[in-house]
Amino acid sequence: MHAFHRTPLVRTARTSRPHAFRRLAGAAAAALFVLSLTGCEDGTGFKDGGEAAASSPATEAAPSASSTAAAAPKGSPKASAASAPTAAGEQQRVLCNGANTGVTVQPVSRPLNHMLITVKNTGSKTCDLTYYPVLRFDEMQWVPTAQQQTRPQAVVSLAPGESGYAGALLSAADGSGEGGTTGHRLTIAFQGRTPLSDGGASATPPLPAAGLAYDSSLSVTYWQRSSADALGS
């Protein structure tokens, strides 16, 4: 009797396992599906996490409409037209520096104790003026501060022949600055794609014969598209 009853019990347990596994597999697949949808909807994708998006099965299985349209046979005119402008645009963008621009400085009467820095793109490619100019008079051992309120919404880009500008406060009008002196040689350094990184060749624009007076309040604006913005006028 005991053996007779054990056999059906064993069979029932064995035959129920595939159903249990199927239920677990179905639940896992549903959970992964929900997670993949959440990953797409929360904006992580290519905008904020390129590596994660590139390895996502959901992303690989569902190409965008634009990528589908661009997938033309090799040698197709559409494929060439789609890829050429981007590559050409990337090749044409460089950093502005002393090697591909002409730089001048000019003291101005208003605002008081200010000078205007002008950078003209003399090269054949569009160049970017990043952040702000780093000024150094003679053998000065400190870096003038940047006026954070002048930071533009986007990087100033100059097409060949175009000019960008920055303004500099040389000394405090109320005499509150310290260590007043006169500079006779000015070096302007350009920044790279990250703050205070090397952007290439510096510039040494000519100064007035009498030099330029400055003190500890010396500060500069970020690069601007117009001289009016650079001088706050």
- For the chain, what is the largest distance between any 2 Cα atoms, rounded to a whole number of angstroms? 118
- 171 residue type, one letter: S
pLDDT value, residue 233: 72
Residue spans of the chain under pLDDT 70: 1-92
Give the bridge partners for 126, in sequence order. 93
pLDDT value, residue 223: 98
Q: What is the pLDDT of residues 91-130, one digit of tens each?
A: 568 999 999 999 999 999 999 999 999 999 999 999 999 9
